[in-house]
A and B are shown apart, each in its own frame.
Chain A
Amino acid sequence: MAHLLLRHRDIPDIGKMDVYKKNGGFEAFKKAVTRMKPQEVTEAVKASGLRGRGGAGFPTGVKWGFIPKDIWPHYVVANADESEPGTFKDREIMESNPFQFLEGVAIAAYATGANAAYIYLRGEFWPVAAILDEKIADMEKAGFLGDKLFGTDFSLRIYTHLGAGAYICGEETALLESIEGKRGLPRIRPPFPAIYGLYGKPTVVNNVETLTNVPLIIEKGSDWYKSLGTADSAGVKIFSLSGRVNQPGNYELPFGTTFRELIYNYGGGIIDGRPIKAIMAAGASSTMIVADDNALDTPMDYASVRTLGADLGSASVIVIDDTISLEWVISKTLHFFKHESCGKCTPCREGTYWLLHLIERIEHGEATKENVELLHTVAKQIQNKCLCPLGEFSTMAVTTAIERFPADFKPSRAGGKHG
């Protein structure tokens, strides 16, 4: 099947305005603005079954429907922070198929009555922001952005905003704080961004990949979109495959493709033909899946992955083989979360600090059996107590690695002195 999101792989130069237009570009936006009411656009997205691709999987049309009609102005914000270890799909979309993403932003703005949209890119995406700025200028020149679009009363401008290196800004309220010129600290919710978002106004925050699906839904219809994927997970998904595979990369596949197909057919199998050991399906924020036959034959959709005690999240599949100790893996993830904790809430700030201390003790061979138990207990104590998902994320690999791979944490291996 031809790519629907990574269309540049089939159509070279689709990042150029004339090529994009020749391939049906901006027809969906024009159709929405000139022939559909905003409410109808939202309903079409609702009916398509599109769910947020940033990790939470919340139904996109439902999110748009939360925007109230009695508080103005409204904003659309595209979350292009893409900082989850193992995730690198939004970058490819924006670099190579930027207009389809921008068209999605424009349609979302029309549907929600926003006249301004911001794209929040992680600071490291400096060159990507430069590309988008150029494409936004192209759209203004071509009459797809600006005042009174297509002869209607609808006006829209899109702006890029660069972050500066903070994983927490992928959390939508921290992201909004960051655009407002503050430290990226998550807000207490409710109120949710749909009511109190950017500058305290109703705001829709959607992931880049989510928005890139929208022009297709408007152009080809909700039923067509729903026919792709599985019952609870409509459409296609870009799976970012990384770790100990021969061919890491982005693979656009229908929801419901199995882990085995992704890892062995598309990813070319494990490096040196080693046995696979564990899978992290949602980047560093994953539980640890035991990569047995049952797991490998599990379809990758939201509901099925849950049967493995895991979440699909942003579908950032990190593959771990039998040469890797999970004690080392969680030391890596804990370094990450300790560094990225914003410090606002105590369980996350203090918890990640102590988790890191404990795993370092284990790594340095200074651990007792009690230290492994303590690591598990501290992680459990963080769960369900944090302001935002980051604290929760920091614990998922820890608890499940200890529970599902106990051999990797034996004090005899972790710390010979105490074995």
Chain B
Amino acid sequence: MLAEKYPEEVKKIFAKYPPEQKRSAVMPLLYLAQRDEGFVTKAALEDIAQMLDITSTDVAEIVGFYTLYHDEKAGKYRMQVCTDLPCALRGADKFLEELCGNLGVKVGETTPDGMVTVEAVMCLAGCDKAPMFQIQSPDGIAYHENMTVDKTMELVAALRKSGKEV
């Protein structure tokens, strides 16, 4: 239960919105719910619905609509490479293809060790620093810009090392 697990953060989230508008808290609460598993569990849907006096379907439709919420487990780190027009004009498609080759996965797949899922995503507002991607991990999002395949493989090695210690 989020309220028991993260009481301070839940309190802070609710304080942002007028008391009669607590449904507004659904998006920040979903980020909190993803923190442990990297995706929103059925139990979390029910939990959030009860906190906000809405149905679990209301919560599920938010998970379905917004791309940064997930209802299935994937790699610990989601590597989301922008392949939209401005990045693609600077080699993003080739970068993604070579990266996938190096990691031995196709777009959308997870490395066998369960660490990295490679995804192609829409514009991330990093057009002048392509190729670029973001890494969505359970506790946040970080940008990596002006990347090469070599630099990315070094990053993956570092993530694998640190991820195992967790």
Contact = CB atoms under 8 A, between A and B. Distances in A.
A127 B127 contact: no
A159 B127 contact: no
Interface in B40-72: 52, 54, 61-62, 65-69
A340 B80 CA distance: 16
B91 to A, nearest CB: 10
A166 B67 contact: yes
Nearest to A324: B89
B26 A183 contact: no
Interface in A158-192: 159, 161-167, 178-184
A365 interface: no
Contacts of B115: none
A212 interface: no
Contact of A85 (B27, B61, B86): B86
Given A183-B62, A199-B21, A86 B134 contact: no
Given A163-B27, A242-B89, A320-B89, A83 B125 contact: yes
Interface stretch (A44-52, A328-336, A350-358, A367-375): A328-336
Given A88-B127, A249-B128, A336-B123, A165 B66 contact: yes
Contacts of B27: 161-164, 178, 181
A240 B61 contact: no
B77 to A, nearest CB: 14
Contacts of A249: 128
A340 B130 CA distance: 21
Contact of B128 (A179, A240, A324): A240
Given A161-B27, A324-B89, A85 B84 contact: yes
A71 B18 CA distance: 17
Contacts of A209: none
Interface residues of A, number: 52
A96 interface: no
B128 A248 contact: yes
Interface string B65-93: 11111000000000000001110111000
B154 to A, nearest CB: 21
A164 B123 contact: no
B2 interface: no
Interface string B129-152: 110001000001111000000000
Contact of B61 (A127, A178, A183, A199): A183
B122 A340 contact: yes
B125 A318 contact: no
A392 B17 CA distance: 34
B159 interface: no
B107 interface: no
Contacts of A159: 16-17
A124 interface: yes
Nearest to B85: A332
B123 A84 contact: yes
Contacts of A242: 86, 89-90, 127-128, 130
Contact of A126 (B61, B86, B123, B141): B141
Given A180-B21, A199-B18, A127 B142 contact: yes
B62 A181 contact: yes
B28 A162 contact: yes
A112 B67 CA distance: 34
Contacts of B125: 82-83, 87-88, 90-91, 122, 124-125
A349 interface: no
A183 B59 CA distance: 10
Nearest to B52: A181
Contacts of B142: 126-127
Given A163-B66, A164-B68, A181-B52, A241 B128 contact: yes
Interface in A88-116: 88, 90-91
Contacts of B25: 181
Contacts of A84: 123
A82 B127 CA distance: 12
B38 to A, nearest CB: 14
Ranked 4 nearest A-B pairs via Cβ: A164-B66, A165-B67, A181-B23, A248-B128
Given A248-B86, A249-B128, A284-B123, 16 more contacts: A83-B123, A85-B122, A88-B125, A125-B125, A162-B31, A164-B67, A181-B26, A181-B27, A181-B62, A240-B128, A242-B86, A242-B89, A244-B90, A318-B127, A336-B85, A336-B122
